[in-house]
């Protein structure tokens, strides 16, 4: 070690931190926020409660026209005690700031919904506890996956209009389907009038493939219980892992009592075009598990065109919130999570964002 000493130029200096002044969580302060918080601020509060943690880059892509305007507004929300933040350690470079819901923000959200903070299910220690969670990277990865969809929709050309109509976090999925499945997320995507709803399994490359394949039985049980066929999308970190997983997934899928009740498509992160302006999971990277073409590359489909590979799957034609004719609480009829599509505008004076959330 002494013969290979670390050179000074590779050391990164530690900046002396100047603690920012933060407002106390008092009734008077929360009352003063009534005229300070914009509709977009309240939307960010609700999104943080739903998805636990969002990075500064993700919040900017979701809600602000530029990173600078988003950073300035997030700093104000932090000083007001509406959000908390932390910066994970990484071995190379600097991680972006990660934001979670703070007590003042939880109080505002609870008041909006006519609840106590305890009824909201919020605890400050648990909110900040994700900073040390072994699932932090996975949670941020799932949120990045959906953020890329939103970014794609916001920058889509006039010839192709896209919308992310629903985005359920893992915790919400567990409350609805936890006795059968525990997906990483549920979503609903629309492009040019073509709707597709789906469950997402976000593979981080650390889970045994046999365990991943074993989850198919739960999805088949849910389809049998609800009578609704909902596609399952599985996202892999690399095409190599996807190829290895598809062989095992296909074997487990064929052994199901009704394989067609669990339509599956896979994709890999390294299939995205790195030179594209806004690469996203909406691109032509999805390969149905039942694809029979010799060339897998020619069988890849865009997200909104996946239903073409499964003629037996009906598109989600009913609006969220409509009653299910079978009386089941299925993802097709249950109310969606906050719709991540706030309007572009100045950081202090946006128009009212679209939201759809459980009351």
Q: What is the pLDDT of residue 295?
A: 57
Statement to judge: residues 175 and 294 lie in one domain = yes
pLDDT mean values, one per 10 residues, the chain (359 residues): 48 51 87 92 94 96 91 96 93 91 96 92 94 94 94 76 90 91 94 92 92 96 94 96 95 95 96 89 94 68 94 72 40 42 40 33
Statement to judge: residues 119 and 35 lie in one domain = yes
Query: Is position 358 within any domain?
Result: no
Query: Is position 215 within any domain?
Result: yes
* Interatomic CA distance for residues 230 and 306, integer angstroms: 12
Residue 194 structural domain: 170-309
- CB-based burial label for 1 (10 Å; 0-12, 13-18, 19+): exposed
The answer to whether the beta carbons of residues 345 and 270 sit under 8 Å apart is: no
Statement to judge: residues 55 and 178 lie in one domain = no
Query: Is position 80 within any domain?
Result: yes
Counting the structural domains of the chain, the total is 2
**Residue that terminates a domain, selected from 288, 309, 330:** 309
Statement to judge: residues 84 and 206 lie in one domain = no
Statement to judge: residues 235 and 185 lie in one domain = yes
The answer to whether the beta carbons of residues 342 and 174 sit under 8 Å apart is: no
Query: Is position 340 within any domain?
Result: no
Which CATH number does the domain housing residue 65 bear?
Answer: 1.10.10.10
Statement to judge: residues 238 and 296 lie in one domain = yes
Residues 107, 109, 110, CA angle at the centre, nearest 5°?
Answer: 65
Statement to judge: residues 62 and 175 lie in one domain = no
Query: Is position 191 within any domain?
Result: yes
Model-level pTM?
A: 0.83
Statement to judge: residues 174 and 305 lie in one domain = yes
Where residue 266 falls (left for φ over 0; alpha for ψ -120 to 50; beta otherwise) is: beta
Statement to judge: residues 112 and 185 lie in one domain = no
């Amino acid at each position: 070690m002494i013969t290979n000493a670390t050179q000074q130029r590779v050391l990164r200096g530690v900046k002396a931190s100047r603690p920012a002044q933060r407002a106390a969580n008092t009734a008077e302060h929360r009352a003063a926020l009534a005229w300070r918080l914009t509709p977009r601020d309240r939307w960010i509060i609700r999104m943080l409660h739903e998805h636990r943690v969002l990075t500064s880059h993700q919040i900017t892509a979701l809600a602000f026209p530029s990173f600078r305007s988003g950073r300035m507004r997030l700093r104000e929300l932090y000083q007001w005690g509406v959000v908390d933040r932390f910066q994970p350690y990484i071995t190379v470079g600097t991680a972006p700031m990660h934001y979670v819901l703070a007590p003042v923000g939880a109080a505002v959200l609870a008041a909006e919904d006519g609840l106590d903070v305890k009824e909201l299910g919020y605890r400050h220690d648990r909110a900040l506890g994700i900073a040390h969670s072994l699932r932090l990277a996975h949670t941020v990865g799932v949120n990045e996956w959906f953020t890329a969809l939103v970014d794609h929709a916001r920058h889509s050309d006039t010839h192709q209009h896209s919308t992310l109509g629903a985005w359920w976090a893992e915790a919400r999925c567990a409350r609805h389907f936890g006795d059968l499945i525990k997906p990483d997320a549920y979503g609903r995507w629309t492009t040019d009038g073509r709707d597709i709803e789906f469950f997402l399994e976000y593979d981080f490359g650390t889970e045994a493939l046999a365990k991943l394949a074993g989850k198919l039985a739960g999805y088949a049980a849910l389809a049998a219980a609800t009578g609704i066929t909902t596609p399952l999308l599985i996202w892999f970190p690399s095409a190599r892992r996807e190829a290895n997983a598809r062989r095992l997934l296909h074997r487990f899928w064929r052994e199901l009592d009704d394989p067609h009740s669990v339509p599956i498509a896979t994709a890999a992160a390294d299939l995205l075009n790195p030179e594209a302006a806004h690469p996203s999971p909406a691109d032509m990277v999805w390969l149905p598990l039942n694809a029979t073409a010799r060339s897998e590359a020619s069988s890849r489909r865009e997200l909104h065109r996946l239903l073409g590979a499964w003629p037996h799957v009906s598109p989600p034609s009913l609006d969220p919130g409509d009653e299910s004719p079978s009386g089941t609480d299925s993802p097709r009829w249950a109310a969606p999570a906050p719709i991540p599509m706030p309007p572009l505008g100045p950081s202090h004076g946006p128009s009212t964002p679209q939201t759809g959330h459980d009351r």
